[in-house]
Amino acid sequence: MIPPAPAVGAIAPDVTFLDAEGRPWRLTDQRGSVVVLVFHRHIH
Amino acid sequence: MRDRIDEFGSEATVVLVTFTDAESLAEYQSRHSLGFVALRDPDRHGYRAFGLGRGSVARVWGLRAAKRYLELIRRDGIGGVRRPTEDPRQLGGDFVIDGEGRLVWGFWGDGPDHRPAIGDLIAAVRNAAR
């Protein structure tokens, strides 16, 4: 079940991703910078 | 987008998220000189948090997909069509978050290869950086 999409204008979800070495990257740590998140289904 | 990453300038941190495995991501990074951050979301928590689900079989493999593949072939030749390597039904999306952590622009793809116009994305970044 997919939760509702966040509304434009709302605080973005607090998400954490991993780099290739397994180190965490947390969106909330990027405050102060503009971030573009590009979700893809594959890399090529 | 990789070809136009310079147009984002220093105004934004661009992050590519996939759910690929660590080895594939490392190989991708070594193969390309990336001007952006490439990360993994193996459990797809981030996809779900941003409301990105999976497309229907009809949407993924239907007439619309065939039309899109024909456009890719016309534009890039047969090399423009890539074999799906992971979950072909996973939907993608693009989001701009401002310095206060606010989602200021979003694009939710309605098919696996449905992407926003790069100009719209760049404009959203510039607005967010003001």
pLDDT tens track for B42-92 = 999 999 999 998 877 766 666 666 776 677 677 777 665 555 456 778 899
How many domains, chain B? 1
Q: Across the interface, do B50 and A15 touch by the CB < 8 Å criterion?
A: yes
What is the value of ipTM here, to two decimals? 0.94
Backbone angles phi and psi of B75, in degrees to 5? -80, -45
**Could you tell me if B118 lies within 8 Å of chain A, comparing CB atoms?**
no
**Average per-residue pLDDT in chain B?**
83
This prediction's pTM? 0.81
| CATH code assigned at B14 | 3.40.30.10
Amino acid sitting at position B70? L
Structural domain range at position B16: 2-129
A32: exposed, middle or buried (C-beta count within 10 Å: 0-12, 13-18, 19+)? exposed
